[in-house]
């Protein structure tokens, strides 16, 4: 994790603005309304974007509090650290990192536990509206779609190497596209003829030829573009890992605030909060000890009509809020695969070299956050 060079080719041609969605609602959800932010609390904005939420959070925090921001997009980091939009507030620090690793970044800094984490997931307007990023079928450009342009496989590279079955699975699952198989077949047929799809325009043309029935008001390529974006950025896995981390890195009473923009993401958030906040009665064991719950569900908020009419991109947003109970984190309670793996490593490491005064086993062993941070 290090602050990347801001000189990506798109940085110079990115005039697009981002209008922050559910700005006040999301920031106010980070703390109890009556109590306000904790004076020396640590807060995390896991999706800095253009910093709309971060700036409002900073305006509400006391002088002893701190805000850690993350983004996997080098342009977002450049925006936070350079030029007119730079944030020079000494309580602020930003790291170039995927939010799946947020708890490790916090631990690596020696910070934590955290009083509130905000995730405003998905793409930002500058990402969609900058032609060269390849997120939109509205412009003809290289088919990239990576949020983190410093690493990983682009959408074009995925199409160039994946099988018909893999492409079908991605487009069907992440795009909920009925014509996933014919689209995948057409893409691979072109590749076999030596005409691999490398641009957004070429992909749109293939989809337009293959998808026979158009949904009213929707470009036929919408679902395929969404699916490839989710695949390239591992968006759902990122979200699951970040939610799991909240169980061990949020302080008792700490808030988890997530804004999602489509049903696949919202289902993950909703199911996660329900799993950790609702008592499940096992009829086979009627007198079993009640399960210790790690979260309380606090709220579900949609944008107001006024917000949607001023910013149509907000219309699909759903904000969910949960609060960490004071039940200590434990392997059994977490019960999720990434947590199990991480906890196992911590336990093994502690067994190999017990340190006097070491902190609880439930806390992850942090790794260095690199040199990218900045106060």
Ligand X SMILES: C[S@@+](CC[C@H](N)C(=O)[O-])C[C@H]1O[C@@H](n2cnc3c(N)ncnc32)[C@H](O)[C@@H]1O
First to last CA, the chain: 16
Question: Which strands sit side by side in the sheet containing 318-324, from one edge to the other?
Answer: 92-96, 66-71, 42-45, 114-120, 250-260, 318-324, 295-301
Collect all residues with Cβ–Cβ distance below 8 Å to 54 and sequence separation of at least 6. Answer: 45, 48, 67, 69, 80, 87, 92
Q: Report the residue from 106, 114, 121, 343 that binds ligand X according to the rule CB under 6 A.
A: 121
- Taking the complex as a whole, the smallest distance from the CB of residue 233 to ligand X amounts, in Å, to 6
- Taking the complex as a whole, the smallest distance from the CB of residue 303 to ligand X amounts, in Å, to 13
| Part of the chain binding ligand X (CB under 6 A), chosen from 50-58, 223-231, 302-310, 360-368 | 50-58
Q: Which is nearer to ligand X, 310 or 328 (CB)?
A: 310
Collect all residues with Cβ–Cβ distance below 8 Å to 215 and sequence separation of at least 6. Answer: none
Residue of 370, 365, 371 whose CA lies nearest to 103: 365
Q: Report the residue from 4, 52, 182, 220 that binds ligand X according to the rule CB under 6 A.
A: 52
Q: Report the residue from 8, 10, 38, 47 that binds ligand X according to the rule CB under 6 A.
A: 47
| Part of the chain binding ligand X (CB under 6 A), chosen from 64-72, 176-184, 298-306, 333-341 | 64-72
Which residues between 203 and 242 bind ligand X (CB under 6 A)? 238
303 touching ligand X, by CB under 6 A: no
- Binding-site size for ligand X (CB under 6 A) equals 21
4 touching ligand X, by CB under 6 A: no
Which residues between 72 and 111 bind ligand X (CB under 6 A)? 72-73, 76, 98-99
| Part of the chain binding ligand X (CB under 6 A), chosen from 49-57, 136-144, 199-207, 270-278 | 49-57
| Residue 172, both tokens | 């069907």
**Binding interface with ligand X (CB under 6 A):** 18, 20, 47, 49-53, 70-73, 76, 98-99, 120-122, 124, 147, 238
């Amino acid at each position: 994790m290090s602050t990347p060079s801001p000189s990506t080719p798109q940085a110079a041609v990115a005039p697009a603005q981002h209008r922050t969605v559910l700005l006040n609602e999301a920031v106010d959800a980070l703390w109890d309304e009556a109590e306000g932010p904790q004076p020396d609390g640590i807060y995390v904005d896991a999706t800095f974007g253009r910093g709309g939420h971060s700036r409002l959070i900073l305006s509400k925090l006391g002088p002893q509090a701190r805000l850690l921001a993350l983004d996997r997009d080098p342009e977002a980091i450049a925006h936070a650290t350079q030029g007119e939009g730079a944030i020079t507030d000494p309580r602020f620090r930003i790291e170039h990192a995927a939010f799946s690793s947020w708890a490790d970044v916090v631990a690596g800094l020696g910070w934590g536990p955290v009083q509130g984490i905000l995730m405003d997931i998905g793409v930002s307007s500058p990402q969609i509206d900058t032609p060269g990023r390849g997120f939109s079928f509205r412009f003809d450009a290289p088919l990239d779609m990576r949020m983190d342009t410093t690493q990983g496989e682009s959408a074009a590279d995925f199409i160039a190497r994946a099988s018909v079955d893999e492409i079908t699975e991605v487009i069907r699952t992440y795009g909920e596209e009925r014509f996933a198989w014919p689209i995948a077949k057409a893409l691979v047929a072109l590749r076999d003829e030596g005409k691999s799809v490398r641009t957004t325009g070429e992909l749109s043309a293939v989809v337009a030829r293959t998808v026979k029935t158009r949904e009213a008001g929707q470009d036929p390529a919408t679902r395929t573009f969404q699916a490839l974006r989710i695949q390239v950025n591992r968006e759902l896995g990122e979200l699951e890992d970040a939610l799991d981390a909240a169980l061990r890195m949020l302080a008792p009473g700490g808030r988890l605030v997530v804004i999602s923009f489509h049903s696949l993401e919202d289902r993950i958030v909703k199911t996660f909060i329900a799993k950790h906040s609702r008592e499940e009665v096992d009829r086979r064991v009627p007198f079993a000890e009640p399960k210790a719950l790690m979260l309380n569900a606090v709220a579900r908020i949609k944008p107001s009509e006024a917000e949607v009419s001023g910013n149509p991109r907000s219309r699909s947003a759903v904000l969910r809020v949960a609060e960490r109970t004071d039940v200590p984190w434990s392997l059994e309670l977490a019960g999720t695969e990434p947590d199990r793996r991480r906890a196992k490593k911590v336990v093994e490491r502690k067994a190999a070299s017990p340190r006097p005064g070491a902190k609880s086993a439930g806390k992850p062993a942090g790794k260095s956050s690199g040199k990218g941070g900045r106060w």
